Structure 1
Amino acid sequence: MAVLAAASLLGTPAFADTWPSKPIKAIVPFAPGSATDQIGRAFAAEMAKTLGQPIVVDNKPGVNGMLGAAEVAKAAPDGYTILIGTNSTNAALKSLMKQLPYNQDTAFAPLGYMGSVPLIVAVNNDVPAKNLRELVALAKAKPGNVTFASASTSQLVSTEMLASMAGVQMTNVPYKSGPAAMTDLIGGQVNLFTADFAVMLPQVKGGKVRGLAVTSTKRSPAIPELPTVNEALGLKDYELIAYFAMFAPAGTPPDVVAKLNQAINAAANNKEVQDKFAPIGFVVEPGTPDALAQRTKAETAKWAKAIKDAKIEPQ
C-alpha cells in the first residue's frame, strides 16, 4: 500500500508535465449550430494551439444539456474530457429536474468562464403584435393561447419569467434543439421564441421573424433598435442572459486545470474570437477557476429563484 501511495504521489506531477499527450474531447451538450456549439468550437480551435493537441468537439444534445453534462461527470478526471457548460448545465438544471444523474454542485471542476450573450424575444411574422406590450395584451385576452418554443433552460426560464412578471399565461412547446425551434417559429407552428443572438439575430435581421426585445438590462450594440424587456414593459428587475464556461470532471489534477484555464483565457483574449462573436452580443470575461466556482454558486442561487418565481415545476 505504501509503495502504491508513493507511486501515486510521484505520478501526478509527471502526468501534469506530459499532459496533454493525446487529443482532448470537448462535449457540447447542445445541438450543432447553437450558440454553445459555435462559441465552443471557436474556443476549442484556439485552445488546441495553446495546448499543442487537437480538441475534438462532440455534440450530445438532450434534456436541457443534461445528457452531455452527465457524460462528462462520469468521465475519467484526467483532463481529456471537458464540458462546454452553460447556465443550463451548471446552474439551472438542479432546480429544473427532480433528479440529476450526478451532483451538480460536486461533479465538476471549474476550468474557466468564457462569456455571455443576451437573448432576443421574437414572434412569428403573422402574430398580430408589433411590440411586447401588444403581445402581452394578446396573451391576456386569450390565456394559454400564445405558444412559445424552448430547447434550453435559458429559453424556457426567460419566457416563463416574462409571462410571470407580465401576469400572463402562455403554453410551452419543448424542442430538442434551438435550430429546430427556430424553423417552427418561422413556419408559424409556434408564436413566440426567446433565444440567444446566434440563433435569433440572423432571422430577425433577415425579416424572417419579428424581434420584440432583448433580455439584458442594456440594449445590445448588435441590434440597438430593440428595447430591453424592462423598457418595453415598464419593468425594473427583468434580466436573463445565457453564459458559457468550461468544466472538467471533479478530481482533475490542479496542474491540468491550470493548463486548461490558461488555454481558455488565451482563447477569450484572442481578438479574432472576440470579433467573430461581437455581432451576436457575446462579451468575454476571462478569469480563474476559483472565480468560476464563485460565479457558479451565485448563478445556481439566482436561477433557483428565477425558476421558482416563474412557477416552473421540476420535471
Structure 2
Amino acid sequence: MRRLLLACLIATLGVSGLAHANANNYPRKPVKIVVSFPPGTGSDSSARFLAQKLEARFGQPFVVENRPGANSFIAAQTVAKADPDGYTLFVASNSPMATNVVQFKTLPYDPVRDFAPVARLYYGAMILSVRADSPYKTVADLVAAAKAKPGKLSYGSGSASYQIATELFMKQAGITAVAIPYKGAAPAVADLAGGQVDFAMSDYLAASALSQAGKTRIIAVGGDKRLPLEPNVPTLQELGYKDYYMVSWVALFAPAKTPPAIVKKLSDATVEIISSKEAAEFVGRTNGQIFAGGSEVLRKYQLDEIQRWTKAAEIAGIPKE
C-alpha cells in the first residue's frame, strides 16, 4: 500500500512539474487566435492588436484566423474541439459566449463548460444606422415608417447579439421588421449601404467606415451615453427608450482543460497589454472602452451576461430557435 501511495504521489508531482515546465516554455511554436467574425469588425481588429502585442512579448507568431458564419458556431466549435495546449485561442464576443445560449434551444458547444476564460478586453455600445440617402433621418422617422408599413422594412442582423438588441428596440418602439441574417456586422452594414436592408444595428467599427465614407448614417447609440467620436448622435435612452442599454464585448478564451499555468501566463500578459495607454488609445478610436480583467473576473462577467441577455430576450419576446 505504501508503495502504491508513493507511486501515485510521484506521478502527481511529475504531472504537476511537467505542466509548469510546459508553461515556462510556452509558447514554443505559433499560436492560432480564432475569430468568429470577418475582417472589419471589432472582434477582428482587437484580435489583431492583441496578436501583435503577444507576439512581441513571447517571440512566437500569434496568427489570427477568421472563421465567420453559422452564428459563430464554426469558430466556437473549432476552439472547443482543439487540443487544450494553449496553441488555439478564441477572441470571442458576447454572441458566441453569452447570447447564443439565449437565442438557440441547442448549441453544438457549451460556452461555459467547453472554454477556459483568459481575460476581458473591451466593450462598446451598439450603433443604429440607416443608408445615407434614406428618407429616415432620425429614429422617429424610422419608427413612423415602420408603423405605416408593418413588417415591410428589413434590418441586417450580424449576430445573435445584434438581433436581440434590434428586436428589443423594436419592441419598445412598437414596430416590426424582417431580420436578414449575415456573417457579421460588417457585411450587414455593407448591404445596408447597398440598399438591401433598411437599417442595421452594429458595433461602431463596422458602422463608422461607411458612415465616414458618406454611404450610411448613424442615427442612435445603444449605450447609456453619447460617443466621444459622435457627439451629435443621441442615445436611445435620450430618445425615450427607457433603460435601453445594449453593448457588445470582446474577451479571450482557451479550450477547456488548458493547463491553468498556461492560462495564467496568457491572462497576466493580456491584462497587462490591454491595460496599457496604447490599448486605450486603440480601442478609443472605435469608441470602445477598456475593461481589463483576468480569468475569474471574465467567468463571473460571462455568467452575469448570460442572465442579462436572457432577460433582454424575454422582454423583446424572442423565442428560442
- Stretches of structure 2 that go unaligned for 5 or more consecutive residues are 1-6
Q: Kindly provide the amino acid, as one letter, of the partner of residue 271 in structure 2.
A: N
* SS of residue in 2 equivalent to 1:57: strand
- Stretches of structure 1 that go unaligned for 5 or more consecutive residues are none
Partner of 1:278: 284
> For the aligned residues, what is the CA RMSD?
1.6
Q: Aligned-pair distance for 1:52? A: 2.4
Structure 1 segment 177-196 matched on structure 2, within 5 A: 177-196=184-203
Contact preservation (8 Å) 2:156, 2:182 = yes
**Which of 98, 101, 104 is matched with 2:105 structurally?**
98
After TM superposition, the structure 1 stretch with the greater mean CA deviation from structure 2, 104-113 or 276-285, is 276-285
Q: Kindly provide the amino acid, as one letter, of the partner of residue 219 in structure 1.
A: R
Contact preservation (8 Å) 2:122, 2:283 = no
Q: Aligned-pair distance for 1:18? A: 1.4
Cα 1:154–1:222 shift into 2, 3 Å: farther
In structure 1, what is the Cα distance between the partners aligned to 2:136 and 2:129? 10
Partner of 2:313: 307
- Asked if residue 245 in structure 1 is aligned to residue 251 in structure 2, the reply is yes
In structure 2, what is the Cα distance between the partners aligned to 1:205 and 1:267? 29
Contact preservation (8 Å) 1:51, 1:263 = no
Q: Aligned-pair distance for 1:24? A: 0.9
Partner of 2:303: 297
Contact preservation (8 Å) 2:186, 2:207 = no
Contact preservation (8 Å) 1:120, 1:201 = no
Contact preservation (8 Å) 1:47, 1:266 = no
* SS of residue in 2 equivalent to 1:31: coil
* SS of residue in 2 equivalent to 1:229: coil
Partner of 2:52: 45
Q: Kindly provide the amino acid, as one letter, of the partner of residue 279 in structure 2.
A: V
Q: Kindly provide the amino acid, as one letter, of the partner of residue 290 in structure 1.
A: E
Q: Kindly provide the amino acid, as one letter, of the partner of residue 77 in structure 1.
A: P
Partner of 2:262: 256
Structure 1 segment 1-315 matched on structure 2, within 5 A: 2=8, 5=12, 7-232=14-239, 234-315=240-321
Q: Kindly provide the amino acid, as one letter, of the partner of residue 320 in structure 2.
A: P
Contact preservation (8 Å) 1:110, 1:289 = yes
In structure 1, what is the Cα distance between the partners aligned to 2:20 and 2:266? 15
Q: Aligned-pair distance for 1:311? A: 2.1
Q: Aligned-pair distance for 1:222? A: 1.3
Q: Aligned-pair distance for 1:269? A: 2.3
Q: Aligned-pair distance for 1:64? A: 2.2
* Bigger-Rg structure (1/2): 2
* SS of residue in 1 equivalent to 2:237: helix
In structure 2, what is the Cα distance between the partners aligned to 1:230 and 1:83? 33
In structure 2, what is the Cα distance between the partners aligned to 1:114 and 1:307? 25
- TM-score between both structures, scaled by the size of structure 2: 0.93
Percent identity, aligned pairs only, is 36
Q: Aligned-pair distance for 1:39? A: 1.1
Contact preservation (8 Å) 2:157, 2:188 = yes
* SS of residue in 1 equivalent to 2:130: strand
